[in-house]
Structure 1
Amino acid sequence: TDRGTFIINGTERVVVSQLIRSAGVFFSSKQSGGSGLFGAKLIPGRGAWLEFETASNGVIYVKIDRRRKLPVTTLLRALGKSKISEIKQLFEDIDTGDVKYIEATLEKDTTHGANEALIEVYRKLRPGDLATVDNARQMIERMFFDFKRFDYSRVGRYKINKRLGKDTPNTTENRVFQMDDLVDIIREIIRLNNDPEAVSDDIDALHNRRVKLVGELISRQFRVGMLRIQRNIMDRMSMSDLETVTPAQLINARPIVAAVREFFTSSQLSQLLDEVNPLSELSHKRRLSSMGPGGLSRERAGFDVRDAHPTHYGRICAVETPEGANVGLVLNLATYARINDYGFIETPYLRVKKGKVTDEIVYLDAYEEMSETIADAGAQIDESGKFINERVSARRDQQAGQVDVEEVTLMDAAHKQVLGSTASLVPFIEKNRIDRSLTGSNMQRQAVPLLTPEAPTVGTGIEHDVARYSSQLILAEGAGEVVRADADAVEVKYKDGVKKYELIHFAKSNDDRSINQKVRVSRGDKVKKDDILIEGASVADGEIALGRDLRVAFMPWGGYNMDDAIILSNRLVEDDSLTSINIKDYTVEIRETKLGDEIVTRDIPNVSEESLRNLDENGIIQVGSEVRAGDVLVGKITPKGEQELSSEERLLRAIFGEKAKDVRDTSLRMNNAGGGKVVAVKVFSSEEGHDLKSGVLMQIQVFVAQLRKIMVGDKLAGRHGNKGVVAKIMAVEDMPFMEDGTPIDVVLNPLGVPSRMNLGQLFETHLGMAAKALGYKVATPPFNGVPTEVIESELEKAGYAKDGKSQLYDGRTGEAFEERTTVGVMHMIKLHHMVSDKLHARSTGPYTMVTQQPLGGKAQNGGQRFGEMEVWALEAYGAAATLQEMLTIKSDDVYGRAKAYESIIKGEPIVGPKLPESFNVLVKELQGLGLRVDLVDEDDSETEVVDAENVIASSQPQADASTKVVADDDDDDDTVMDEADEVDFDEDGMSVEIAEEFNEEREEA
C-alpha cells in the first residue's frame, strides 16, 4: 500500500528492516601470550567465507568456508603464485618485523608448485573425494570466480575498497574474488601484527553494520524462487523432446510464488502491523531488528551487540528499545536519519567554515564522520552564525572534548537528532532519567485511541509531523473545492477533475481497536495542498493526540494512591474523557459432516426466545443489536449420530416421523467477557465464489463493539514513564478542590517522583497549568526546552505561585489541607492493558482429561494455579482443612467435587474428600512400569494387603442400571464413572507402599 505496509491474506503486515553485519573484510586480534596476533574475515554477499588467523609461531593460516585450516601460501600457490620468490616479492616491503611471517608460513607449507597446492586445497574442502588437479581447479574456479556462487555484493566491494585503501571500480567483474584483494588482506594482517598500537575493527560500529530494507529482503527470496525454477526447467528439458516442447510446458512459476508467500507469512521480519494507535504504526515501520535470517538470535547475542555505540548518535534512537529479551536487538531510526544506497545509516550536519555555521546540510555515514570535528547543537552562535565562545564542546573520532572554534568542521543539525519519533514526543525528556524515558516512549505506543482525543497543551512541536506521516490523515492533493462532505465520503474538485475519498467507520484494527474517521471540511470549503480532509483515530486538529490533558495534584489521599495507584474523579467517567471503543470479531464455520451438513437456522432446540431475540429469519444476528454474555450470535445445528432409542423416543418417531431426528446445538454465542453492539456481519459462502477451506460451506464473522469507560484496574500513564493503575474512582464532590472551587481530576502519589528521577513530569505539570490558564499551547523541543525562569514567570502571569503549588481543600470536609500541593495539567494516556480484558472468575468449568484438574487461563475459563509455594504458605499457616480442600474437592477429586456441589445447592454440610484422580494416575503410571502397587491397611494387626484396583474402583460409585460404564485399558475391574451415586467411605489411615516382590523376599530371608 502507499503507507508502507503489505496486505497479506487480508491482514496488514509490515516488513521490519534488518540491521545486520555488512559484507566486507574485518580485522581482529586474538590476545595470546601478551601480544595480540591479528586475523581477518572476508565476508562476501554470497559465497564462501575466508577466515585468516596468525598462529603464535608466526604462520598465517586460512580457513575456507569453515573447513580445516591450511597455510595461506598454499592458497596463493593454488591461485597461480607458485614460485617462492614470487610470493616473497609480494610481501618483502611489509614483512620487515622481528617475526618473518611469510617465511614461517612457507616453512609450514608442504606443497611445491601449483598442482600440489590445488590438490591440498581440494582435500581440505572435500575430504574423501578423489583429488585430481582438474577437479581441484574446477572447484576453485566455481567457488571463487563464478558470479552465481561468489559475489562480494556492491556493499562488499565498497567496504573492501574503503578498508584496504583501494579504488577498484565497483563492477560485476570486480565483484568476484580478486587475487590482489587476497594479497592486500595478508599485507594488512602483517602490518597490524608489526604495529604495537594496532586495534581490532569494531564490528558493532554502524559503519560495519548495514540495514537491509524490504526490497533487498524480498529480492533474496525471489532469487531463491528463481533458482528453483531454473532447476525445474533444466530437469524438464533433459526429459522432454526439444523439437515439440513449448515454453509453457517447461516453466512453472509456482516456486517463486511460494517463496515470496512464505517470506510474507512466516518470516521473522514480516510482522503484523502494530495498529494500537498511529504512533505505534509509525514506530513499527521505522523499526530495525538485528534478528531474522542471517542475523543474531536472542540467546546468542551478548552485551556488546546490545550496547549503545557512539556511532548510534543521530542514526539510531538513544532511548527507544524494548525491555526484556530483545533489549538492544530491536532499535528505531532516529528522527533525521536516512539510509543510503549501500544500506548504511546517515545523519545530517551543518557545514562549518572558519568558525561560521553555514546553511549547507551534509549527510554522513559513520565512516565519513570519523575524520570530522563536530560541535554539538547546544553551542551558542550569534545572528551571523559565528560561535560566541572561543572553545566549544565537540567530538572527533568518537571522543568528546573541548576544541578551538577554528578546528570545528561540522555542527549537529538539531537538538533532537539523537532521538527517534516516539522519544521526541516526550517534553522535557532531558530532565528525566533515561530508563524512565524509555518506559514512557514504549507506553505511548500502547495508548488506546480515545473517543474524544485532545492534543497535548505541552508538546514538543513534532506532534503535527507524526500525525501527518501516520496513515490516519487524508490530505488534499492540491488546490481545490469541496463539493461533497458527509459521513460516507468527501469529494474534492481539483483542476483535473473530482476525486472521491471514502470514510471508514468502526472497522476493527489488528489490535481489536476501533478505526473510525471523521470529516474535517464542509461543503464549499476551498482547500490547498496538504490541508486535512479526513482525520482518523488519536488525531485532533492535525496533531497526534494519544490522551487527554487532565488536572492533576501530587498528594497522598487516604492511602488509596499508595504504590503508583491513581485516584480519579467520576467526571472522567461521566464525560467519557477516557472512554475507548473495542471491537472484537467472532467467527463460526458451517461445515459438511459425515452425518450431513450443518445448518444455520433460527430454530434451535431447547433455547429460550430471549436469547434468540436479535436473530433474523436465517439465524444470523442483525447489525445494531445490543448483545449480552450468553446471547446467540449465529444459530447453528449439527446432525448427531444415531443412538439406541428408548421406547418413548420410538413412539415420538412413529408419530412425528423424522422431525425429532437428533441435532446438536452448536451455535456461536457471546462469551462471558463480551457484550456490546453488533457493528458488522460478514457472510462468506463457497456458493458465492469465496475461497474457503475444504469442507467449509460457509463462514460468518460477527463484529461486536464495546464502549470501554475508564474503570478501577485500568492502567493509565503519563509520557515520562509514570504509570499506575486506577485504584478508586471518587464522586466529583469528594475530590480535593482548588481555591476557586475547581475540583482535581487525578490524584497522583508524590513518592513516585523523587526515587525515579523523572522530573520532566513536574515541569510539564507547571507549564501546562500556566499555558491552560493563559490559553496557548507550548512546544518545548527536547534538549532545547523552556527554561525554568520562563516557567516561573508564566505561572505568575497566570496568577499562580511561582513554585507551582496551590492550596487545596478536602472535598469531604471542606477543610484546607495542611501543606500546599503541586497542582497542574498533565497529558495522560490510557493504555491497552484494560481490566475488562483480564477480569476472570470461575465456579465450575472444564477439566483436563487425564488428571481431571481444572484448566488454566482466562481463555479456557480455567482456575487459579495453586502451586508448590502456595501449598507451603498454607502448611506454614497450619490451615489443614483449606489445604485438603484445595488439593481434592476443589481440584481433581471427581466424586467429592460433585457431592460438594450437590451439598452446597441442597444446603447440607460438605462431607470430606475421597481419592483424588491424580493418585489413580500415579498408580496407573507405576503399573505401566511393571511395578505392583498395593495399599496396606496400617490399623489391622495382620497388615492386610489390599488390591489397589479394588480401592480405586470402590472410591467411585457402584455400578447401577443407569450408569455409563467406561471400559479401562487393562482387563481389571471396569471403572465406573458417574458423579451422582452414593458411595460408602473407606476407613481412614490408608497409607501407600510400593512393595516390589524382591523386597518382600529379602525381608523373609
Structure 2
Amino acid sequence: SRLSYGRIPNLVELKDLIATQLESFAWFKTEGLRELFDEINPITDYTGKNFELKFLDYEFGSPKFSVEECRNRDMTYAAPLRIKTRLTIKETGEIKESEVYMGDFAMMTEEGTFIVNGTERVVVSQLVRSPGVYFTAAEDPNTGRKLFGAKLIPNRGAWLEIETSAKDLLTVKIDRKRKVPVTVLLKALELPQMKGTENDRDAQRRAMQELFGDVDDNAEHRYMDATLEKDTTTKTEDALLELYRRVRPGDPPSVDNARNLLQSLFFNPRRFDLGRVGRYKVDKRLGRDEEDILDRVKKRELRILEKGDFIAILRKLIELNNAPREKQIPDDIDHLGNRRVRAVGELLQNQFRMGLIRMERIIKERMTISDPHTVTSASLINARPVVAAIKEFFGSSQLSQFMDQHNPLSELTHKRRLSALGPGGLSRERAGFDVRDVHHSHYGRICPIETPEGPNIGLIGNLATYAKVNEFGFVESPFRRVYNRMSVADGEADKLAGRTLRRAALDQKGNEVLPANHLVDIKDLPKLTKGKVPSVDIVPWVSTEVEYLSADEEDMFGIAQANAALTAEGHFVDARVPARTRSHYGLEDVGNIQYMDVSPKQIVSVATALIPFLEHDDAGRALMGANMQRQAVPLLVTDAPLVGTGVEYYAAKDSGEMIVADVAGTVVDVANPKDMKAVHATPVFEIVVKPDAGGPDRHYPLQKFARSNQGTCLNHRALVRPGQHVDAGDILADGPAIDNGEMALGRNVLVAFMPWEGYNFEDAILLSERVVKEDMYTSIHIEEHESEARETKLGPEEITRDIPNVADDALRNLDERGIVYIGAEVQQGDILVGKITPKGETELSAEERLLRAIFGEKAREVRDSSLRVPHGERGIVVDVKVFSRENKDELGPGINEMVRVYLAQKRKISAGDKMAGRHGNKGVVARIMPAEDMPYLPDGTPVDIVLNPLGVPSRMNLGQVLETHLGWVAHALGIKIATPVFDGAPMATIVAELEKAGLPADGKVR
C-alpha cells in the first residue's frame, strides 16, 4: 500500500531475519549433541578392565509446560533429555542397555528466545577469531626487511607459534612458553626423513634440504642452516628432553614423559582439536585442493595436527620470507574471512562439553567402587554437572542476556547482534582501534552504522539485512551472478539464448561458428554443440541467479554496485561502472565484473534500513538514529510512518511481536476470554483459525497488557473478525509499536524548523498542547510488585484482609482474601496485598503490657507487613497472580504463598522527556505550549513541534529535512511513501511532488 520511489527491483525477499538463532539451535539438537557423545564414547574405568559405558542415542521429550505457562509461572521452558546407554561388564561379558534421564534442557521458542525462570533471554552470537593458521609480519627496524611468523590456533588446545629472527633463526613457542629452535621440534616429531641422522650434523642438513630445499633457496638467508647451527641437540631423545624442559620447566624430564607430553599436546583428540573450521582454514591457507579439503573436513581423525601440517606451515613461512616484497602479504586478522560467528548452538555445545567432562570423571570414580553384579547405567551417571553447566551458562554467561524488549525493533536487533566480547573473545580494555574499525569485508555482512556509542563501539555489531551465517560460521552475503563467458557443455547452453557474443565463437580448429556481436538464438545452440565450441565470450550479462559468498570468496571477484544502470535485457548501460575488489573502490571495466550487489540496503542492518534518506545523513548521526529507534516506547495509539523505507513490514513480521497465520483457514473466534479457573487467574485471549486443509483448529494466544522485560506494555490487537478467511502469512494481530503489520515506533506530526523565543535553544523541543491532549505520545507502563508469605521462626506469615490497626477505608480495594481487585485504582501508600507476620512476646511495649493487664485480653501477636504501593507510584491493577503450594506451583524454600500484582499507568509526554527523529536528531522537551500560541501555516493549522534549524547544518543530517518535505506531501495527498535507503526519492522528485500537492516547492511558508 506504499508508493515506493525505489528504482531497483527486490530480487531477494527480506525474510527469516532470526534464522541464525533458530538454525543454530536446531543444529545443536541434531548434530552438536551427537558430536559430543561421539567425542566422549566410550567411558572405561581407570584400569580399562572392568566396565565400558557407551552413549548410543538420545532424544528430547516434549516440554512439560507451554511458553505462556512458563512466563506466567516463573518456570524454565525446557524439555527432558533422555539418553540410551550400553554398559558392558568386561569380567562377565554381560551387556546392559537402558535409558537414562539427563535432566531438563532449556528449549528455544519459535521467536528465537529462551525462557529461564519466567524471564525471556537471548543468547547473543559471538564473533571470534577463527581457528586456523595465520602468517603475520614484523619489520626489522635495522634492515627494513619483513620477518614472518606463523600462529596455529586450534579450536581447543595448545597454540603453536613460529617466529623468524633477524639472524634467520626459526624458533617455535608451544603454548606460549619459552622459545626453542624449530629443528628441535622436527627431531622430536621423529619424522621418517630424520631417521639415521642422529649425532650427524651433515645428515641432518641433508634431511632439512630434502624437506625444505626447494623453498629455502635464498643464498643470503639460509633459514634451516642458521637454525641447525643454533640447535644444540643431536638426537631425538635430546630434542624431546629439551622440549619438555621448555614446556614444563621445573618438572624432572624423562624421554617417556616428554614423548607422552608431545603426543597429548598435538595428537590426542581429547586435548587438541582444530575443529571442522580449523581443519578447513589450515588446508585452505596451505593451498590444498578444494575438493580434498571438503572431504578432509568431514573426517574426525584429521582434526588433530598432522606432522605434514607442521612441515607445510614451515615451508609456507620460509616461502613468505623469501618472496619479493610485493608478494609478502601477511594475513589480516580483522578480515571476516578470519573471524567467525559462534552462534547459540556452538556456545551451548562448548558449555555442555564442560559438563560432560565433569560427569565423565564422576562416572570413572564410581566405576572403581561399583559391584559388577548390581551396577547399572543409572547408578553410574550423575547428570548434575551437565545440568549445572547449562544452568550456569543461561544464568550468568556474558552472552546470555536479558532480552531488550523496549519495542519490537529492539527485540529483533538483539537477536541479530554480534559481540566480540565474552569468554574466548576480546575485552574492552585490550581491544585496539583496528578491531573496532569498519573493514572492507564487512560490506553486506556487518552493518557499518549500527554499533553502540560508548566503550563497546565497534566490538558489538549487527548482521546486515541479507547476511547469513554458513555451516563453518562465516558470514555470507548474496550477490547476483554476472556472466562474461559461458560454457556450452556444462548445462549453461540453455542460458545462452538471448545473449550477445562479445567475440566470435570458434570451434576447436579455430573456425568461426558464430560471428561477434551475434544475438544467440535457440536455433544457434546445435551449431555450437556440433562444432564442439567449449565456451563463448558474451557481452556481460547480469543474471537473476543469486549466490551467497563468504568474505574470502568475495575477495577474488570484481563486484558492481546494485545501482549500476542495466538495460531491460540485463546488460550494463555503461562500459565502466563503479565497482570494488577487496578494499579498492573505483570505476571498473564491465568485462572485469563477476558479481553485482542484490540490493543497495544489503550493506546496512535492519534498524539502519528503517531510516529514510539515510544517504543524506552523516554516519555518526545515522548511528545515533539507528540506536535511538530501539529505545522508542510503544505508544497508546500506533501510527505507521508516512515516509518509510519499505522495510517496516519485514521488521515487524520477524520481530516475534506480530501474530501471523501459518495456515490458510477461516477465523472461528477472536479474543474471547476463556473461563477463569480461579478468582485471580489471568484470562486467556486467543484467535482460533479453522484450517482449510482440515485437522485441529489453530490457536494463536494474544498477550493483553502484559509486562515486557523493560516494563513497557505488550498488547496484541486483533485485526481479523470471526468468519473472515485468512491465507498463510496474513496478519492476525498487531503487537506493540506495530500498525497494520508495519513497524510504527513514533507518530506523524507537523514540524516547523524555526527558532521560537529561545525555547528551542540547544536542541530543546517545543511541543503543542494538542499532542498531549490527544494522547499522541501517551504510553502505558506496567510495574510488577510481589509479596511472599514465608515460614518464620515464630510461625507462618499469612495473607489476609484482617490487618491490625488499619482503617476500613484502607481495605476498600481488597477482596475477602486480602488481595487487591483487578481494575482498582491505587495511589502511593495503598495496600495491594494484606499480610501479617507473627511477632514474639518480647516485643511488647510498656503501654501494651498495661492494656493487657487491665483488659486481660490476649492481643494478637502479629504485625502489619502488607505490600503497599511504593512512594511516587500510582496506577490501575491490571493483573494479579497467586502462587501457592496447594496449587503445586514451584516456590522457593520457606515460601508458602506468593502474590504478584501488576500496576499499569498511563504516562503522558511532559517537559524533560527525550524525543528523537530517525536521523540522530534528539532533544529534550523544554515547554508544552497551548496550540493557539504555536506558529501556524497560512491556512491556520498550528504546528505540533518546533525544532531549531541550527540543529541541521552542523550535524549534517539532511535526511530529516527531506523527510519532513516528503511527509508533508504524503499527508496532503493521503498516501504512505517508501523511499528505500540509497535508492530513495531524488531532490527533483520531491520538488515536483510538492508542487503536485499544491505546496510551496521550497517547503517554506510565512
Q: TM-score scaled by structure 1? A: 0.79
Give the share of equivalent positions with the same residue, in percent: 56
Is the counterpart of residue 3 in structure 1 residue 111 in structure 2?
yes
Deviation, structure 1 residue 648: 4.5
Deviation, structure 1 residue 458: 0.5
User: What is the one-letter code of the residue matched to 2:949?
Assistant: P
CA 1:646/1:154 → structure 2, altered by over 3 Å: closer, same or farther? Answer: closer
CA 1:311/1:580 → structure 2, altered by over 3 Å: closer, same or farther? Answer: same
2:226 to 95, 101, 104: 104
Structure 2 equivalent of residue 980 of structure 1:
none
SS in 2 for 1:386: coil
Question: Do the aligned residues in 2 keep the contact of 1:570 with 1:731 (CA within 8 Å)?
Answer: yes
Structure 1 equivalent of residue 400 of structure 2:
270
Q: How does 1:662-677 map to 2 (within 5 A)?
A: 662-677=861-876
Deviation, structure 1 residue 700: 1.4
Structure 2 equivalent of residue 437 of structure 1:
622
CA offset digits 1:362-401 (Å, max 9, x no partner): 1111111111011112221121111111211111132112
Q: Quick one: distance in 2 between partners of 1:724 and 1:588?
A: 39
Deviation, structure 1 residue 662: 4.5
Q: Which structure has the greater CA radius of gyration?
A: 1
User: What is the one-letter code of the residue matched to 1:367?
Assistant: D
Is the counterpart of residue 373 in structure 1 residue 548 in structure 2?
no
Deviation, structure 1 residue 655: 4.7
Q: Quick one: distance in 2 between partners of 1:21 and 1:63?
A: 20
CA 1:727/1:647 → structure 2, altered by over 3 Å: closer, same or farther? Answer: closer
Q: Quick one: distance in 2 between partners of 1:800 and 1:214?
A: 53
Q: How does 1:199-598 map to 2 (within 5 A)?
A: 199-354=329-484, 355-487=540-672, 488-494=685-691, 495-497=693-695, 498-598=697-797
Q: Quick one: distance in 2 between partners of 1:128 and 1:239?
A: 35
CA offset digits 1:753-773 (Å, max 9, x no partner): 111110000000000101111
Q: Quick one: distance in 2 between partners of 1:292 and 1:446?
A: 24
Is the counterpart of residue 37 in structure 1 residue 147 in structure 2?
yes
Deviation, structure 1 residue 471: 0.7
CA 1:442/1:647 → structure 2, altered by over 3 Å: closer, same or farther? Answer: closer
CA offset digits 1:172-221 (Å, max 9, x no partner): 12211111111111111111112233132100110000001110000111
2:208 to 79, 83, 87: 87
Higher relative contact order (CA 8 A, sep 6+): 2
CA offset digits 1:268-300 (Å, max 9, x no partner): 000011111110000000000001110001111
Is the counterpart of residue 128 in structure 1 residue 250 in structure 2?
yes
Deviation, structure 1 residue 14: 0.6
1:755 to 940, 943, 954: 954
Is the counterpart of residue 709 in structure 1 residue 908 in structure 2?
yes
Q: Quick one: distance in 2 between partners of 1:493 and 1:697?
A: 43
SS in 2 for 1:587: strand
Question: Do the aligned residues in 2 keep the contact of 1:652 with 1:660 (CA within 8 Å)?
Answer: no
Deviation, structure 1 residue 590: 1.8
Question: Do the aligned residues in 1 keep the contact of 2:440 with 2:582 (CA within 8 Å)?
Answer: no
Structure 2 equivalent of residue 888 of structure 1:
none
CA offset digits 1:628-648 (Å, max 9, x no partner): 011111122223344486664
CA offset digits 1:647-675 (Å, max 9, x no partner): 64334223554542443322211112210
Unaligned ranges ≥5, structure 2: 1-108, 198-203, 485-539, 673-684
Question: Do the aligned residues in 2 keep the contact of 1:611 with 1:630 (CA within 8 Å)?
Answer: no
User: What is the one-letter code of the residue matched to 1:172?
Assistant: R
Structure 2 equivalent of residue 116 of structure 1:
238
SS in 2 for 1:422: helix
Q: Quick one: distance in 1 between partners of 2:730 and 2:775?
A: 29
CA 1:339/1:649 → structure 2, altered by over 3 Å: closer, same or farther? Answer: closer
Deviation, structure 1 residue 778: 0.9
Q: Quick one: distance in 2 between partners of 1:489 and 1:320?
A: 36
CA 1:648/1:117 → structure 2, altered by over 3 Å: closer, same or farther? Answer: closer
Structure 2 equivalent of residue 17 of structure 1:
125
User: What is the one-letter code of the residue matched to 1:481?
Assistant: T
Q: What RMSD over aligned residues (CA atoms) do the two structures have, in Å? A: 1.5
Q: Quick one: distance in 2 between partners of 1:225 and 1:78?
A: 35
Deviation, structure 1 residue 554: 0.8
CA offset digits 1:33-58 (Å, max 9, x no partner): 22221111001111111011112211
Q: Quick one: distance in 1 between partners of 2:887 and 2:974?
A: 58
SS in 2 for 1:805: coil
Structure 2 equivalent of residue 949 of structure 1:
none
Q: Quick one: distance in 2 between partners of 1:771 and 1:645?
A: 74
Structure 1 equivalent of residue 260 of structure 2:
138
Question: Do the aligned residues in 2 keep the contact of 1:800 with 1:806 (CA within 8 Å)?
Answer: no
1:176 to 301, 304, 328: 304
The runs of at least 4 consecutive aligned structure 1 residues that moved more than 6 Å come to none
Question: Do the aligned residues in 1 keep the contact of 2:341 with 2:475 (CA within 8 Å)?
Answer: yes
Is the counterpart of residue 614 in structure 1 residue 744 in structure 2?
no
Q: Quick one: distance in 2 between partners of 1:609 and 1:39?
A: 82
Q: Quick one: distance in 1 between partners of 2:621 and 2:274?
A: 43
User: What is the one-letter code of the residue matched to 1:464?
Assistant: Y
User: What is the one-letter code of the residue matched to 1:505?
Assistant: K
2:1001 to 802, 805, 828: 802
SS in 2 for 1:12: strand
Structure 1 equivalent of residue 90 of structure 2:
none
User: What is the one-letter code of the residue matched to 1:652?
Assistant: L
Q: Quick one: distance in 1 between partners of 2:843 and 2:391?
A: 51
CA offset digits 1:391-436 (Å, max 9, x no partner): 1111113211221111111111111111000000000000001110
SS in 2 for 1:726: strand
User: What is the one-letter code of the residue matched to 1:129?
Assistant: D
2:945 to 725, 740, 746: 746
CA offset digits 1:540-569 (Å, max 9, x no partner): 111111111001111111211111111111
SS in 1 for 2:346: helix
SS in 2 for 1:711: coil
User: What is the one-letter code of the residue matched to 2:448?
Assistant: A
Structure 2 equivalent of residue 27 of structure 1:
135
Q: Quick one: distance in 1 between partners of 2:279 and 2:778?
A: 57
1:698 to 897, 901, 905: 897
User: What is the one-letter code of the residue matched to 2:564?
Assistant: A
Question: Do the aligned residues in 1 keep the contact of 2:480 with 2:547 (CA within 8 Å)?
Answer: yes
User: What is the one-letter code of the residue matched to 1:598?
Assistant: E
Unaligned ranges ≥5, structure 1: 808-1005
Is the counterpart of residue 163 in structure 1 residue 285 in structure 2?
yes
Deviation, structure 1 residue 146: 1.4
CA offset digits 1:247-278 (Å, max 9, x no partner): 21111111111111111111000001111111
Q: Quick one: distance in 2 between partners of 1:552 and 1:205?
A: 44
Structure 2 equivalent of residue 860 of structure 1:
none
CA 1:133/1:671 → structure 2, altered by over 3 Å: closer, same or farther? Answer: same
Q: TM-score scaled by structure 2? A: 0.79
Q: Quick one: distance in 2 between partners of 1:241 and 1:410?
A: 68
Q: Quick one: distance in 1 between partners of 2:274 and 2:251?
A: 28
Structure 1 equivalent of residue 38 of structure 2:
none
CA 1:163/1:658 → structure 2, altered by over 3 Å: closer, same or farther? Answer: farther
User: What is the one-letter code of the residue matched to 1:119?
Assistant: L
Q: Quick one: distance in 2 between partners of 1:247 and 1:350?
A: 55
